[in-house]
Amino acid sequence: MFSLPLHHNAHLEPLEVWHAEEFAAHLDRAREHIRPWVGAGFVTTDVDGARATLGRYAERQAADGGRLYGIRRDGVLIGGVMFTGFQADAGTCEVGCWLEPSSEGSGLVTKACGALLDWAFTVRGLHRAEWYCRADNDRSSAVARRLGMTLEGTLREAWPYEGVRYDKQIWAILARDWLRRTA
């Protein structure tokens, strides 16, 4: 297994099915905070649900269609980043994230997402990375902006949550723009 340092006490590491108990405990701390911003199937309520979520991502990774990584600070899972979609044949991917409220503002999500983008563009040769978020999720759109992404549009009322429909933003960055930024 690998562990990529993000900060002196924080690392990015794969999240796998055998982490289900740890993932469930983390979701107990983060659930209500992240629920409005992530897909309903991601926010589980018990170890079996956590195992199922991690299993879906393991299947996606095996099919080269997605990946899931945890952010650990001082050895404790505090959030993560993922390729929610990965289409190597089309040269595109979608990146996403989540984080416990106690860890916001530390720059860890931006660093971790930057590591995913760098790998997607330099190792896998992808052409385009996308980021989707609710239009009222200021923290998420700020991460996209810090990553150098461009807001390409807003899908009106495309994000249903608890009986209300919210606008969804689409952000993206092309490989040439990422490589220029990181050169």
pLDDT in tens, 84-118: 999 999 999 999 999 999 888 889 999 999 999 99
CA–CA distance, 51 with 89 (Å, rounded to integer): 29
The CATH classification of domain 4-182, taken from the options 3.40.630.30, 3.40.50.1820, 3.40.309.10, 3.60.15.10: 3.40.630.30
Q: What is the pTM of this model?
A: 0.94
CA–CA distance, 39 with 160 (Å, rounded to integer): 10
Cβ burial, residue 82 (10 Å; 0-12/13-18/19+): buried
CA–CA distance, 56 with 51 (Å, rounded to integer): 9
pLDDT in tens, 3-58: 999 988 999 999 999 999 999 999 999 888 888 898 877 888 899 999 999 999 99
* Residue spans per domain, the chain: 4-182
